[in-house]
Structure 1
């Protein structure tokens, strides 16, 4: 049994993780929230207390300051807080330093996104092999549980793939992961999570088709799909974290990711991209200061956590899966819908942060109970999906399954370049 949780980061996802961990602190023990800005951590704590979500008042909920790129400081923090579970929901630039600190201290490691280097965007697949997977052997040798990509996508969608392979199909032909936000935040333009990380996703589209990596242009292939609850929405073929592990761990011919974008978003994105404001490469301004344009853009756009109070509408994220069962063709759509206003009422968050944060807290509970404390490094699809999905059903993210859903039939997609 593991206890005491250290949450690294103080953004929108950390906010949700803290609420859900506090609601289960009888299992998880003390909770520390740490980031560079302790004031942000304290604001999360105030929200948890305001909603009366600290289940066991004898357990501590407190904050610390830390530079998550400073491995010795992280090691000291983990030891000082006696944290046995570390949930990394900071920027993905810090993954490797937090992972290293966990290996050095014996703590469980979790994150919600693939590692990134500031000067490397959309690296060639399988991206995990460049960073996290290089630590697999050390985790195995030292009995370290490291769970990679335990948000929603990646995370829950990976578990759905494992569930499909285990319970619904004998063979899988295609998996199409569809992610649409049919909500409205009322701002002229904003991103639902860290703008810097968000925009970096849209440089290249690496996707897995006919058991090989295929490169396509960003926002070049569109499909309209009639989703449950939210109705017909446009989605575009996009590269995404989970493809880099699913291509290795799930026996399917093609695995693709599609994200919803409205015309207004795409128009603003195109202008920002064309004038260079999405660049991660530093430029020198007249005063001699060097700064990456994307960091300036991040500074002027609304903080994603500030969108929550006025957000309306719903999200729908699901896997459209084709294959065979008992020699007959089968198609299912396994999905979740989440309401922005309901998320705010429960934990003072919007649904994008909620869908990413709840799974991390659920995984921490499963580790604390011993169910997922596997003593080595895994991506989510390598774990038993049923306990996770059943727990999410009780924590605000229920899974629905539709047999013979509305068809989703993408066009034939060929590669612009080989790996």
Structure 2
């Protein structure tokens, strides 16, 4: 059993995580939040207190921290007696925060893969370039490190594991589909850190097809699906974190990630990219000032947190899984629908941040209770999926499934029964 949580970051995902942690401080204990800009953390704490989100009286404290400073992070972990650290800050921080956890013994959770600010779209598998190099040390020291515990990556990994271990006898393909059918009313903005957002789309699109890595260009391949609630949507093949772990951990020949983009987003993105304004490499102006074009674009775009009050509409994120079940080719869609206005009413955040922040706290709760305190490094699909998905439904993110029998709410008992039946039959075979 572990308690006391340190949340690193003060952006949209960290904000949702902080609200949800406060709502479950009877299990999680002290809630400490740290970021480079103390005023942002103090405003976050004030918002939580204003909404009376703490389940019971307890510690809710703000701290100033440069999380790239490993020694400072270690000192804060020890000073706050934090046994669980949620890295909800920039993906550039992963290795520094992980090192602090390895040296202090605190459990580590993040919501996205590590990135080197000087590199874009490295060779796959991306986790193998950074995080997985610390697997042996995690296991040797008994440190729990859960990677990619947002929604995608995160919940979609659990959906994939659920399909592979509790539904199908053989999985042939997993297509992860992410659609934001909402509107923020701005001319152009990104739903999370623009720097991280754009870096996803300026490099090679890597997917796992026919058991090998396949390269495409962004916006080169698309598909159209009729999806629950959000209707007919066109999505584009995109490189994404979860493909890199699922391809290694599940025996599935085709794993792809698809994201929805409107024509306006594609047009603006294309212009910015064509002009070189999305480059992460520094340039020198005529005045002799060195700037990074991508950071300049980030500076002039709206802060993603500021979008929340005006956001309307819904998001769809799910896994479309095809394979063989009981000797018959079958299809299963397992998905979540989130509402921007409902997310704002509860956590002062939009649904994009909500869908990433809630799962991270679900992971923290499962560590605190011992169910996911695995004392090693693990991606979400390597951990029991049913407790995670079931808990998510109880704390804000419900799951639905659609197959030949129709569309219905996720029922943990149905999947447990199916898994037991499947295992029994496979043992008999």
TM-score of the pair, normalised by structure 1: 0.96
1:318-337 equivalence runs, <5 A: 318-337=318-337
Partner of 2:253: helix, strand, or coil?
strand
In structure 1, how many angstroms separate the alpha carbons of the residues matched to 2:383 and 2:351?
Answer: 25
In structure 1, how many angstroms separate the alpha carbons of the residues matched to 2:68 and 2:385?
Answer: 32
In structure 2, how many angstroms separate the alpha carbons of the residues matched to 1:396 and 1:146?
Answer: 24
Partner of 2:18: helix, strand, or coil?
helix
Residue aligning to 1:304 = 304
In structure 2, how many angstroms separate the alpha carbons of the residues matched to 1:320 and 1:284?
Answer: 46
Residue aligning to 1:24 = 24
In structure 1, how many angstroms separate the alpha carbons of the residues matched to 2:119 and 2:79?
Answer: 34
Partner of 2:10: helix, strand, or coil?
coil
Residue aligning to 2:424 = none
Could you list the runs of 4 or more consecutive aligned residues of structure 1 that deviate by over 3 angstroms after TM superposition? none
1:196-345 equivalence runs, <5 A: 196-202=195-201, 203-345=203-345
In structure 2, how many angstroms separate the alpha carbons of the residues matched to 1:405 and 1:208?
Answer: 29
Q: Is the 8 A contact 1:180 1:259 kept in 2?
A: yes
Residue aligning to 2:7 = 7
Residue aligning to 2:370 = 370
1:356-367 equivalence runs, <5 A: 356-367=356-367
Per-residue deviation, 1:405: 9.3
Residue aligning to 1:395 = 395
Partner of 1:252: helix, strand, or coil?
coil
Per-residue deviation, 1:123: 0.6
- Is 1:146 the counterpart of 2:145? The answer is yes
In structure 2, how many angstroms separate the alpha carbons of the residues matched to 1:173 and 1:239?
Answer: 19
1:126-145 equivalence runs, <5 A: 126-145=125-144
In structure 2, how many angstroms separate the alpha carbons of the residues matched to 1:10 and 1:303?
Answer: 12
Per-residue deviation, 1:287: 3.1
For the aligned residues, what is the CA RMSD?
A: 1.0
In structure 1, how many angstroms separate the alpha carbons of the residues matched to 2:91 and 2:405?
Answer: 35
In structure 1, how many angstroms separate the alpha carbons of the residues matched to 2:26 and 2:396?
Answer: 19
Q: Is the 8 A contact 1:331 1:405 kept in 2?
A: no
TM-score of the pair, normalised by structure 2: 0.93
Partner of 2:371: helix, strand, or coil?
coil
Partner of 1:100: helix, strand, or coil?
helix
In structure 1, how many angstroms separate the alpha carbons of the residues matched to 2:251 and 2:189?
Answer: 37
Residue aligning to 2:349 = 349
Residue aligning to 1:120 = 119
In structure 2, how many angstroms separate the alpha carbons of the residues matched to 1:312 and 1:185?
Answer: 7
Partner of 1:334: helix, strand, or coil?
strand
Deviations 1:188-225 (A, max 9, x none): 00000000000000121000001100000111111111
Residue aligning to 1:412 = none
In structure 2, how many angstroms separate the alpha carbons of the residues matched to 1:65 and 1:50?
Answer: 21
Residue aligning to 1:411 = none
Aligned length: 405
Structure 1 range deviating more: 285-294 or 97-106: 285-294
Deviations 1:135-189 (A, max 9, x none): 0000000000000000000000000011111111010000000000000000000
Partner of 2:162: helix, strand, or coil?
helix
Per-residue deviation, 1:326: 1.1
In structure 2, how many angstroms separate the alpha carbons of the residues matched to 1:196 and 1:44?
Answer: 22
Partner of 2:248: helix, strand, or coil?
helix
Q: Is the 8 A contact 1:70 1:97 kept in 2?
A: yes
Per-residue deviation, 1:253: 1.2
Partner of 1:374: helix, strand, or coil?
coil
Decide whether aligned partners of structure 1 residues 200 and 405 sit closer, same or farther in structure 2, where only a CA change above 3 A counts: farther
Deviations 1:18-45 (A, max 9, x none): 0000000000000110010011111111
Residue aligning to 1:187 = 186
Unaligned runs of 5+ residues in structure 1 are 407-419
Unaligned runs of 5+ residues in structure 2 are 407-429
Per-residue deviation, 1:361: 0.5
Structure 1 range deviating more: 221-230 or 297-306: 221-230
Per-residue deviation, 1:290: 1.3
1:41-56 equivalence runs, <5 A: 41-56=41-56
Per-residue deviation, 1:346: 1.1
In structure 2, how many angstroms separate the alpha carbons of the residues matched to 1:209 and 1:76?
Answer: 45
In structure 2, how many angstroms separate the alpha carbons of the residues matched to 1:359 and 1:404?
Answer: 28
In structure 2, how many angstroms separate the alpha carbons of the residues matched to 1:34 and 1:390?
Answer: 29
